[in-house]
Amino acid sequence: MSDKPLGECPRCRAPVEKLLSRFHACVIETSDEVIATEKRVSDYEKDGRWSHAAELADKAGMDNRARENYKKAGYDM
């Protein structure tokens, strides 16, 4: 954002035109608790402790990840 605007393309040297467009930006902040929970789930997965990872992911509302881990643990889903 702080760079000066280009006057020409650095590759082909053609003139550059400014094009304005609308866009929406979104910043999502993740709490320390959520980050810690995701790390614990990842650690369980790395250790092959699928049922532990599934239970924790399920409690944390990580539905798809919980379902995948339950399947890996041998539960019929």
Res 1: pLDDT:
63
The residue among 49, 52, 53, 48 whose CA lies nearest residue 65 is 53
* 48, pLDDT greater than 90: yes
Res 68: pLDDT:
95
Res 5: pLDDT:
80
Q: What is the mean pLDDT of the chain?
A: 90
Q: pTM, whole model, 2 decimals?
A: 0.62
- C-alpha 33/C-alpha 48 separation (Å) is 23
